[in-house]
Structure 1
Amino acid sequence: MRNYRALTQEEIGRLEAQACTAADWNDVQVAEAFTPDYVHHTRFSGKIRLGVFEGEFRLAGGVCKHAGLSYAALHNVTVGDNCFIENVKNYIANYEIGESVFIENVDIILVDKKSRFGNGVEVSVLNETGGREVMIHDRLSAHQAYIMALYRHRPLLIGRMKALIEAYAEAHASETGSIGNRVSIVNSGYIKNVRIGDCCEIEGAGRLKNGTVNSNASDPVHIGYGVVCDDFIISSGAHIEDGTMITRCFVGQACRMGHNYSASDSLFFSNCQEENGEACAIFAGPFTVTHHKSTLLIAGMFSFMNAGSGSNQSNHMYKLGPIHQGAMERGAKTTSDSYILWPARIGAFSLVMGRHVNHPDTSDLPFSYLIEDKNTTYLAPGVNLRSVGTIRDAQKWPKRDLRKDPLRLDQINYNLLSPYTIQKMMKGREILKELARVSGETSETYSYQSAKIKNSALNKGIRFYETAIHKFLGNSVIKRLEKIRFQSDEEIRKRLLPDTPVGSGEWVDISGLIAPKSEIERLMSDIETGALSTVDQIHDRFADMHAHYYTYEWTWAYEKMLEFYRLDAERITASDICAIVRQWQEAVVGLDRLVYEDAKKEFSLTSMTGFGADGSKAEQKLDFEQVRGVFESNPFVTAVLEHIKVKTELGNELLDRLSGLV
């Protein structure tokens, strides 16, 4: 606790000579080494504490400004060491200001009553009319929000979670706001009931009201010109720029929002990028991206999603109001001018093209294309597995994780193939086989969930899913058996046994976190019984699930391996493993070849259209190569070829280790 002293009569005289006034000089306390040299034209009222003003700020262009106070009114304010506060048009009231803070040309900064600073604000996500409210707070993760929004069929759970968040919000409530160390606030307007973390930079903000900016030295927050935020939480590393307007929103770690983006009653979790468009009542899981002015996202749940220009959804069928909602599972995309009439559910890593008004549910058919033709939704199951775009997306997401905060709120699993997607492919494969059996294998089209599937698409879908299943199970087996030289089949069987029973059964994607449903159920039960009594304990449990993902994954993969390949756990031999590895090699190389051919289309003559202005075909080709490069040397293409080589060698290495037992 820092010691403060009263001003001396000489110091009071000097301050008054420098045009300073106080309602009562006895209420002004200062640090031991305080001098009044750099304090002038300042009005004090209420309880005031001042540090020393010894440092300098070097600004852009080489301008230096010495720490101090001038042309400001302070009421119940603590000012830390080496701060610069100048040209406050109205006043700063009820704030604790940290060290080395730079405040210049602001209208007003105040706390007017006991405030929770945005903690506990209810966001009417997914359903505009209410019923799925998520209470936001500083430590909110996508996974906590997912449970609070979607598990309304467990009222005891929801009641307990609300009580935990209420307790957290009340514990962080205060009649005094705080501005952390090394914060910069310049050329800004109205700031009311806002808590601001270390190293935050606010320049030109229009209005910030009732919120928290969780900036820190590891990952500062930047809030730019024309930004208006009401009832909000902004997490570390976020950049809110250029006229963005948000109301009742949570902004997750390392999010980017700008170019007049507008959002209300929405949640944006880690690494979302939102520009130009509009959001209303959306649950934007990690890596939800929209860049286009004409794009509206409304009443939907998304993650790892890219919205094309003009993408739109409707939650209103002009009957009982905007009560409908939808979900696009992880990795789903929309093309330009796509439209979905909620309610609908789109399977993971699917592509939506055209207008879809018949409420499709394709959640059991991931990696599909949904294409509209004459108001009919046509479904091509599994075809996105061969898309170069899908593979590129899976590679880019980890590289685009911009979070620098050592405390990460969201536990993000980037795996394209996981128990979550493979269980759906297994179910999708059975669905497609059953459609063929019931309707006849020679039918031209099949009907499924208000969509049509062409015969050729159905048969290809079965093959795509089988290939992906072989790939995933083979990956898991090879990983489990790596670096061990076995002497007998018994040793192989012993190594294959899972380390834990956890992981068996259904898996879920809790907005970025892929985990066994049994573990999520256990967590929810522990919340209901009071075994988990703080938001931090809930966070730690999600982090633990994420840390043990591969252990749990093997439990699931082992069971499915026995089931899919019809093996007996007591009789597995090296020959069985070799057969799985050979099928895995065939699947991996086969999929990579399809991706290779898909990439090749980007270098076709059709793709060269528009190149070589005013020239011949030869100039067109040369211009194309100068801009896009040559197919054979394209980094992605060479990576695919290298992947084929590496995976082939990996399989051969295991086959070699097992050769003595076959």
Structure 2
Amino acid sequence: MSKIIKEKLADLGYHFIPKAYLQHNDEYYFRNQQFPEHGKFRNLTQEEIKILVRNDNYSNNWDHVLVTDKFLPEQIQHSKFYGLVRIGDMDDVYLNFRDLRLPCGIYNSTIISSDFGCTVAVHNVRYMAHFIIGDEVMLANINEMETSSSAKFGNGILKTGDVEERRIRLELCNENGGRSVLPFDGMQAGDVYLWSRYRDDQELQHRFQEMMEAQFSSHHGFYSEIGHHSVIKNTHTIKDIKMGSHAYVKGVNKLKNLTINSSAESYTQIGEGCELVNGIIGYGCRIFYGVKAVRFILSSNSQLKYGARLINSFLGDNSTISCCEVLNSLIFPAHEQHHNNSFLCAALVKGQSNMAAGATVGSNHNSRAADGEIIAGRGFWPGLCVSLKHNSYFASYTLIVKGDFLHELNVRFPFCLVSNEADTNRLIVLPAYWFLYNMYAMMRNTSKFQSRDKRKFKNQYIEYDILAPDTVNEMFDALIEIEKAVGKAYIHEDVVSDIQAVGKSILLSDEKLTGKDILLDNVEFSRRKVVLAKPKEAYNTYRRMIRYYAVKQIIELMESRSFTDLHTLVSSFPITRSQFENIGGQLVPKTKLDTLLADIRHNKILSWKDAHARYHAWSDLYIEDKFKHAVASLAEVTGRGPSSWDAKFMMDLIEEAMETRRWIFAEIESSRSKDYQNPFKQMVYDSYQEMEEVVGRLEDNDFINKERDGLFDFERSVKKIVDSLSLVH
């Protein structure tokens, strides 16, 4: 039952902090730190008080209404002041933002113990308590602005005297809370990923929490803040808010317990009908039209729109969610989900992903417990009306065809297509599908995500290239799976032999794989058959793309270095291919990650800011790490160590890479041109010319033209390198 307490009117605006939690016996100790210009204020003159009273203003103690020497009492009208209120410099001006024109001053408002910067325009704020308002801020038509003495601003901390149950947690990756993390301002996807894993390492988990709590004060008495040049209008409730500068908020229902990062370079906007509670919002975010978000982190330059629901989830940089619902999920950067009837729950999605209409990942409620987990690598794409069951795993760039997948899946083939064959009740897995049948969409991903990366400070290297250490390692693993499947299909049961070696021999021979189904083991938790489609084409394509990935790195180096330099350099490299881990979109060698975790355990890393410095150092060295990985990959796929690479070997590989680049471009152009040649695509237009007017001409396609120019540049580089190699004896 709600309990209304009666207290003396003279006390309104005072005793904000419970006496037991006062620091230095000063109610304003932390407030003065937040508002460092408090020393320039003076008391009102008697003449100023007369003008204020004449303008229908009231204070329970005019001695506690402080102003500067640039005070204009005529611009304070029909307002009430309680407790200590400090009003910064005023000017005979009005502020204009997008045709909202408001005179400087405070009008028709009730102010309790708050501070104002210079030249503010405050109109019709019915109740404001314990806020610090920056310079040139516009506030208009707001019902409530209040702050609690134990405000945490969305961070998962406890204040002195709080009980553990009051702590905010993000229950990520599954519905049972077993991977929950404590949110904090500045938290990156890599932080969340590391904290949500390693659950059997209690020492590490304890250190993660210590590192977070070290960044914040447990004391009471911090005020809400509205940063310089921010605008808030036509809003109902704002409570426990820390808002940066240049933010724009309009028509919002509720903002509660939030940190809203914003700056002149990356300003955040929040629009009509939104209700945001217990969250952290990054720089440059856009949140509009009926969004509901509770217990969440929205990373920089991301968007929530059109009634999106984001609950108990982390959404990485440069992502967009509109219309749909996302629960209990950890999502890395560059995620796209636009459809009202798509649903994502209890998942770890490693970025550059797209959820189609009708896709439902989670909450099947077909087990005896809460949803488990789905882990999906980069480029995850569940297609139209796909339904998946927990627990499942998907390699990078898995495309899933429309259908209900009633059993757990473990798809270990990157760039693959997964589909149900309804008439035979079989699962079909087609590895390397994207390279074989839709090169345009595949290769466009890299440039698409790079162009959408709106971060102003790119101090963390997010890998957008489809060919990178993570996907290449997955291709190597897939090669082994294909070899085993083919070997098992072609070896007689009574023959004792190395199944993988037999499969590899068949795949590398000219023998055609006909007349037999190649079946996969441990892909689906069911008794039905799982068929490996086009194994030989996929196998050869994987090997080709691995070589292309590796040689492309070498070509970039040889544009400025000689073959002798290259040979000297790579001869010193380890020939073992490194394992990489995707931590929040950043690819990190596993050995470096293990060192970081050890340093955290041993108190060599004392805060998450220290961990971020390590991320940034890794970013500076990533290109070098990637090059070493490429060299080791080339050695493995060719069977020749770097010390044995002579000029002819390298020339042959570079010329093959040239042919691969030409093939890639031909497939890009071909896969897009099919849309122009398909009569069913043309039938809705009266003529071919009308179709070109509506969808654009093929020859004007920006991506294809860019790739054509890239091919010409690549050919020039290759010719120069090949000419130099021909001179090496």
Asked if Structure 1 and Structure 2 have the same fold, meaning a TM-score greater than 0.5 normalized by the shorter chain, the answer is yes
State whether structure 2 residue 530 is matched by structure 1 residue 481. no
Match of 2:305 among 258, 272, 275: 258
AA in 1 matched with 2:292 = M
SS in 2 for 1:226: coil
Which position in structure 2 is the counterpart of 1:433?
483
In 2 relative to 1, CA 642–61 (structure 1 residues): closer, same or farther, beyond 3 Å?
closer
Per-residue deviation, 1:485: 4.1
State whether structure 2 residue 687 is matched by structure 1 residue 611. no
Provide TM-score, normalisation by structure 1: 0.93
In 2 relative to 1, CA 325–501 (structure 1 residues): closer, same or farther, beyond 3 Å?
same
SS in 1 for 2:727: helix
Per-residue deviation, 1:85: 0.8
Match of 1:36 among 48, 55, 73: 73
Which position in structure 2 is the counterpart of 1:78?
115
State whether structure 2 residue 440 is matched by structure 1 residue 367. no
The farther-off stretch of 180-189 and 577-586 is 577-586
AA in 2 matched with 1:169 = F
The farther-off stretch of 368-377 and 106-115 is 368-377
Match of 2:472 among 418, 422, 426: 422
Q: Distance in 1 between matches of 2:212 and 2:681?
A: 56
- In the alignment, structure 1 segments of 5+ residues that lack a partner are 613-618
* CA displacement, residues 425-452 of structure 1 (integer Å, 9 cap, x when unaligned): 1121121012101112552231243356
Which position in structure 2 is the counterpart of 1:106?
142
Q: Distance in 1 between matches of 2:533 and 2:298?
A: 44
State whether structure 2 residue 267 is matched by structure 1 residue 220. yes
State whether structure 2 residue 432 is matched by structure 1 residue 355. no
Which position in structure 2 is the counterpart of 1:595?
668
AA in 2 matched with 1:565 = T
Q: Distance in 2 between matches of 1:409 and 1:225?
A: 33
User: Does the 8 Å CA contact 2:571/2:643 hold for their aligned counterparts?
Assistant: no
Question: Cα RMSD (Å) of the superposition?
Answer: 2.1
SS in 1 for 2:130: strand
Which position in structure 2 is the counterpart of 1:616?
none
Which position in structure 2 is the counterpart of 1:570?
643
Which position in structure 2 is the counterpart of 1:496?
570
AA in 1 matched with 2:671 = D
AA in 2 matched with 1:622 = Q
SS in 2 for 1:505: coil
AA in 2 matched with 1:109 = M
* CA displacement, residues 64-105 of structure 1 (integer Å, 9 cap, x when unaligned): 43200111111110111100111122x111111111111110
SS in 2 for 1:395: helix
Per-residue deviation, 1:286: 0.6
Provide TM-score, normalisation by structure 2: 0.85
Match of 2:722 among 647, 652, 655: 655
Instruction: Please give the residue correspondences for 1:137-216 in structure 2 after superposition, counting only pairs within 5 Å.
Output: 137-170=184-217, 174-216=221-263
Per-residue deviation, 1:220: 0.9
Per-residue deviation, 1:155: 2.1
User: Does the 8 Å CA contact 2:362/2:371 hold for their aligned counterparts?
Assistant: no
Q: Distance in 1 between matches of 2:531 and 2:44?
A: 86
SS in 2 for 1:52: coil
User: Does the 8 Å CA contact 1:356/1:377 hold for their aligned counterparts?
Assistant: no
Per-residue deviation, 1:21: 1.0
* CA displacement, residues 399-431 of structure 1 (integer Å, 9 cap, x when unaligned): 111233x3x586411121111111111121121
User: Does the 8 Å CA contact 2:70/2:91 hold for their aligned counterparts?
Assistant: no
In 2 relative to 1, CA 3–255 (structure 1 residues): closer, same or farther, beyond 3 Å?
same
Q: Distance in 2 between matches of 1:611 and 1:173?
A: 66
SS in 2 for 1:446: coil
Per-residue deviation, 1:173: 6.7
Match of 2:539 among 462, 478, 503: 462
The farther-off stretch of 309-318 and 344-353 is 309-318
Per-residue deviation, 1:323: 3.5
Q: Distance in 1 between matches of 2:97 and 2:223?
A: 32
Q: Distance in 2 between matches of 1:47 and 1:574?
A: 80
In 2 relative to 1, CA 396–173 (structure 1 residues): closer, same or farther, beyond 3 Å?
farther
AA in 2 matched with 1:659 = S
Q: Distance in 1 between matches of 2:74 and 2:44?
A: 13
Instruction: Please give the residue correspondences for 1:260-279 in structure 2 after superposition, counting only pairs within 5 Å.
Output: 260-279=307-326
Q: Distance in 2 between matches of 1:643 and 1:453?
A: 39
Per-residue deviation, 1:160: 0.6
In 2 relative to 1, CA 63–419 (structure 1 residues): closer, same or farther, beyond 3 Å?
closer
Which position in structure 2 is the counterpart of 1:528?
601
More strand by share: 1
State whether structure 2 residue 371 is matched by structure 1 residue 304. no
SS in 2 for 1:109: strand
SS in 1 for 2:684: coil
Q: Distance in 2 between matches of 1:236 and 1:478?
A: 37
State whether structure 2 residue 167 is matched by structure 1 residue 119. no
AA in 1 matched with 2:570 = L
Which position in structure 1 is the counterpart of 2:124?
87
AA in 2 matched with 1:493 = H
SS in 1 for 2:173: coil
Which position in structure 2 is the counterpart of 1:343?
391
Q: Distance in 2 between matches of 1:209 and 1:63?
A: 25
In 2 relative to 1, CA 410–644 (structure 1 residues): closer, same or farther, beyond 3 Å?
closer
* CA displacement, residues 449-502 of structure 1 (integer Å, 9 cap, x when unaligned): 33566565211110210111111111122122222345xxx554213346x879
Per-residue deviation, 1:239: 0.8
Which position in structure 1 is the counterpart of 2:11?
none
State whether structure 2 residue 47 is matched by structure 1 residue 10. yes
Per-residue deviation, 1:605: 2.8
AA in 1 matched with 2:394 = I
Per-residue deviation, 1:603: 1.2
In 2 relative to 1, CA 48–454 (structure 1 residues): closer, same or farther, beyond 3 Å?
same
User: Does the 8 Å CA contact 2:125/2:141 hold for their aligned counterparts?
Assistant: yes
Which position in structure 1 is the counterpart of 2:452?
400
Which position in structure 1 is the counterpart of 2:698?
631
SS in 1 for 2:114: strand
